[in-house]
Amino acid sequence: MELYFLGTGAGMPSKQRNVTSIALNLLDERGTYWLFDCGEGTQQQIMNSPVKLGRTEMLFITHLHGDHLYGLPGLLTSRSYLGGDTPLTLFGPPGLKRFVDTALEVSGAHLTYALKIVEIVEEGLLFEDETFKVETARLEHRIESFGFRVIEKDQPGKLMLDKLTALGIPAGPIYGKLKQGQTVQLEDGSTLHGADFLGAPIPGRIVVILGDTRYCSGAQLLARDADVLVHEATFAMDKQELAYSFDHATSTDAARIAQEAGANALIMTHISSRYQGDAVLELLQEAQHHHSNSHIARDFWSFEVPRKG
């Protein structure tokens, strides 16, 4: 599981940062990518990255401001041109379906895959299958904005091969059944229970990606005990009043949320274009004063999500 930052700027693109988009690499876990936000130029950023658009499974839009949304029509049609034929699901606030349907209709676009659009009307569980679940909550911004909590479910522990070898159990289908926790009856009539041959479960990881927001309880709720929290940090602390007036966060706000929620790593993104070059270090230093494990994202930078322990 790896976060890959396609765009890390705020408001409008700059020479150093494109507008917001993040890929969550789940190739090892489910053979796909999930995308979060799709600012203008996202498909161009993808072309210069290892992300494979055709293997994108889900796309989460935090809110409907243009720097998080305007790249969507081009990305959807390009996915067809690149041979994408597997279903794609979009999640986002009310109005997302109207935006997408209008753009595709007016441009005469034809998609070669099934597109499902889910508009978020309630906080809580948004998606769940056997490997992951996604929870959402409202944040505080000028328009409705959501954050997403991606929870990897615990995995079965490692199979105790030495214990099976000691019993004279040969490698084969029996190992697979035990690994799945099943009960197996041997030819001699004895019974093996999968739970007796598995180590402790491997804890799943939690990745939290927030939309634009100022310091708020929704961010705290989603970020609790996260392995990684991705939080906007549009301004430094000396621009606190400006940040608040536009419903944005400072680097200190982001670090406070991470610290209070018990998040492990904080990654700050959505950086104002006023922080060019080494000026961005001001944001990092302010955050690290409150939360030592803080990072500033940059375009085409990746972060591997560690497992606990």
Determine the Cα–Cα distance for residues 258 and 230; give it in Å rounded to an integer: 9
3-state secondary structure of 222: helix
Q: What pLDDT was estimated at residue 211? A: 95
**Domain chopping of the chain, boundaries:** 2-155+202-304, 161-197
Q: Residue 309's pLDDT is what?
A: 61
d(CA 252, CA 240): 9
Binding-site residues for Zn(2+):
63, 65, 67-68, 141, 212, 270
Q: Above 90 in pLDDT, residue 274?
A: yes
Q: What pLDDT score was predicted for residue 122?
A: 95
Average pLDDT of the chain, as a whole number: 94
Catalytic residue list:
67
Shortest CA distance to 90 belongs to which of 128, 127, 119? 119
The C-alpha angle 242, 139, 32, rounded to 5 degrees, equals: 115
Gap between the Cα atoms of 185 and 201, Å rounded: 24
* pLDDT of the residue at 184: 87
Q: State pLDDT tens for residues 77-130.
A: 999 988 889 999 999 999 999 999 999 999 999 999 999 999 999 999 999 999
Give the whole-angstrom CA distance, residue 88 versus residue 84: 9
Helices 96-107 & 72-81, crossing angle to 10 degrees? Answer: 60
Assigned CATH topology for domain 2-155+202-304: Metallo-beta-lactamase; Chain A (3.60.15)
Segment holding 253, helix H or strand E: helix 251-261
What number is the average pLDDT over the span 241-263? 96
For residue 308, pLDDT beyond 80: no
- pLDDT given for residue 186 in this prediction: 84
The answer to whether the CB of 161 falls within 8 A of the CB of 110 is no
Non-local (6+) Cβ contacts of 257 within 8 A are: 215, 219, 220, 223, 229, 231, 263
Say if residues 268 and 295 touch (Cβ distance below 8 Å): yes
Structure tokens belonging to residue 197: 């041959």
Residues 6+ positions from 261 with CB-CB distance below 8 Å: 219, 220, 223, 224, 225, 226, 229
Q: Is pLDDT larger for residue 172 or for residue 139?
A: 139
For residue 270, which of 301, 302, 248 has the smallest C-alpha distance? Answer: 248
| Measured distance CA(267)–CA(292) in Å, rounded | 11
Q: What is the pTM of this model?
A: 0.89
- What count of residues does the chain have? 309
Report for 246-250, 275-279, 305-309: range of highest mean pLDDT: 246-250
Look at 155 and 143; give whichever has higher pLDDT.
143
* pLDDT at residue 57, as a whole number: 96
Q: Which amino acid is at 9?
A: G
What local confidence, expressed as pLDDT, does residue 66 receive?
96
Q: What digits encode the pLDDT tens for the residues 163-215?
A: 888 888 888 888 888 887 788 888 788 888 888 888 888 899 999 999 999 99
Identify which of 226, 202, 197, 229 has the alpha carbon closest to the alpha carbon of residue 309. 202
Per DSSP, 188 falls in state: T
Residue with tokens 């917001």: 20
